[in-house]
Structure 1
């Protein structure tokens, strides 16, 4: 079953249900034409795989030799020297440098940083009575926040942003877009080697793991890659929920439910990354009476697993058992940072413009195609115009 069709883009949950009915806890899929994989739909099966890196390593090097260089999914999946694409000792080395640097981020300062970025963005559209929140608010606030955390100056950040946008479009220029990002990151590596400061790039450069320039570049590449798309989609999908869903809209604005509750609902029902956590078994593996081929991608569908009938149901308020952050040795190490940035970004906008409505019906919203992310192409809203906010 292909994950690159309009049918999947319009209603992935319906496609997941069809897969579940036909195949059970795992389904054969195509990520792109001629690129087969297995998609895990069952929650308990996913946890088993995520907790077993010995049988399900993340190293794709043998697989990628079988994939055409111009395949649209290859640039996002091929091997590189970072924690997500390695196993064993190299994974631990990269992971230690990555997590140690993220753990040094001052969570208490994030509120003020988000507010300082959000206010000028809101002021650009608050008097007009309408906005495309993805383009005018969500993407710029996410990217500026990541630049701030990583220690990336604006002139390099703009080049990285342009490359990331091209990659997200899933077009034929994926390799070219990655080259643009790589060139900018090489300049950032040189900058932080020569001028270390209190930021993620500097902490990684100074870590006892002694990353060389190429390794440091790829840790930073992963910081952006694992930050921009998921965080952008999380904030946009949370805003859609708050604006359009009566269960949350009035409750969040009125104070009965927290923004954190709305974010957790999104992580369950409409996670920002629908399918990811790739692994590549070294030999055929029997799981749930299904033989998984050697050296072929196995992807976890966080969206399908979170809504597996075997575990779904009941009130999810306060429940954080979803798999949106992954699990096991490759679980997201920045979930606390992501939670706080997403919550503050939503709260800043709701405080400034509390009476937003969709400018079109939910059914007419456009979602970007692709097998991995669940991402709105735009989020048009209308609201009563309001005066600019004071700059903090």
Structure 2
């Protein structure tokens, strides 16, 4: 078994942000302006020169202003995603669907492209190739993906909700008596990792180890800190797989190992790593973004203890307007292609902006519960997020549990004072400070301290319940 990461590398992402595709009609000779051709972007306000820098703090503060600017190019626009690293960004909804559904024209394999990027580039942890389902094409992708989808299908929704409630209660107990909390580091960013620790079959006491390791990978201020976190995460994954190879359980790791598609140990590790990474950051951001909306919008704020709009409504608005992964779905054309009015050269990096495509005709509000069609926050096509249903159950239950215990929770700062983490891929709050009436273990009535724990695995025999049919 090999280490899941190179030292200092952050985890690779996944859903809701990896897909395929792109139509390729014949076009006129020559290339339309793109980032590889050194053509500066439009300058409607006299502010922008050259491709928009998606990683700049100004972009994080007001991305929709920049999406409006990028749309002046047409369906695709040149952007800079890291220092000296450019890409084409799809901002048009129809073009995004065409790309995401066409795995004949477009490949997910980034190996050739990454040879053109400095080895220390900050974008490589997100875009550098790894042997997992995110960066695979064709039969290889289908073989790896089926292991994930089949295994998650064995997790029953009612059981998942019970596990989320237990994880949420354990976190609320940590700050419930204080009366204040930063919901990002103390709740939204920890809960997905507690869930992964549980679902993959590790004892509850290993949750803190996973949280510390993943936090260091994401936020390590120095290469040394990142390398230490990487070593800790690698040790966690190796122990997890070692435990399950010795004794199976009713958990995702055992189901990955026993799937009839016959993954090697290294392939199992790669799919565990991408599943955790794919679910961690986007799910944390989905919970945080939805909570910020509920605590700052009167349509929700007045309804925390009863009313019209729900946590699910807040999540839907976030998925439309502020997707937790705003720009991703890296694709590379297999040949030169004229795509929605722009020539794209073979091997050139093209990303999809879910946020820009979703809001092409304006932001979406949910003043009722009817919904508004299909957003792209989960991507689409062959690489659509394979565990949407589970992500929604986790996010919705986490928010409902928090607001049930802390019914008068409110922002501790004005909504306009909230700041967003710079970064071209994610839409993530830097902090979400809140206050509430403290709750204590000895107060009258039920509290999170009274919650009974749920098991880390199902109360079933340690052998795997059933095997899956092969894709071939």
Tell me the residue number matched to 1:359. 412
**Higher helix proportion (structure 1 or 2):** 1
Aligned to 1:10: 61
**Contact 2:151–2:256 at 8 Å: present in 1 too?**
yes
RMSD: 2.1
Which structure: larger Rg? Answer: 2
Matched, 1:228 2:288: no
Please say if residues 317 and 364 of structure 2, whose CA atoms lie closer than 8 Å, have aligned partners that are also in contact: no
Q: Which moved more, 1:85-94 or 1:252-261?
A: 252-261
Return the alpha-carbon distance in structure 2 between the equivalents of residues 266 and 355 of structure 1. 22
Cα distance in 2 for partners of 1:156, 1:320 equals 40
Number of residue equivalences: 391
5 Å-filtered alignment, 1:237-252, equals 237-251=289-303
Residue 137 of structure 1 corresponds to 187
Q: Distance in 2 between matches of 1:266 and 1:230?
A: 12
| SS state at 1:127 partner | coil
Distance 1:7 1:216, change over 3 A: same
CA gap of 1:159–1:72, structure 2 versus 1, over 3 A, is farther
Secondary structure of the 1:80 match is coil
Q: Residue 213 of structure 2 contacts residue 233 of structure 2 at CA under 8 Å; is this kept in 1?
A: yes
> Are positions 1:60 and 2:113 aligned together?
no
What is the rounded CA distance, in whole Å, between the counterparts of 1:310 and 1:380 in structure 2? 29
Tell me the residue number matched to 2:388.
Answer: 335
SS in 1 for 2:391: helix
Contact 2:321 2:363 in 1 (8 A): no
Q: Are 1:201 and 2:253 counterparts?
A: yes
Q: CA deviation at 1:83?
A: 0.9
Q: For the structure 1 residues 59 and 175, does the alpha-carbon distance in structure 2 shift closer, same or farther, using more than 3 Å as the test?
A: farther
Q: Which residue of 2 aligns with 1:375?
A: 428
Q: Distance in 1 between matches of 2:333 and 2:79?
A: 16
CA contact (8 A) 1:169 1:368 kept: no
Query: How far apart in 2 are the matches of 1:276 and 1:372?
Result: 6
More displaced stretch, 155-164 vs 131-140:
155-164
Deviation at 1:28, TM superposition (A): 0.7
How big is the shift at 1:180? 4.2
Partner residue of 1:167? 217
Alignment-derived partner of residue 120 in structure 2: 70
Residue 306 of structure 1 is matched in structure 2 by: 358
CA displacement, residues 51-91 of structure 1 (integer Å, 9 cap, x when unaligned): 00111111111111111111111122111111110101111
Partner of 2:98: 48
Distance, in Å, in 2 between the alignment partners of 1:181 and 1:314 is: 40
What TM-score does the superposition give when structure 2 sets the normalisation length? 0.78
Number of the residue aligned with 2:70? 19
Question: How big is each residue's C-alpha offset from its partner over 1:226-263, in whole Å with a ceiling of 9 and x where there is no partner?
Answer: 11111101111111111111122224542312321111
- Other-structure match for 2:460: none
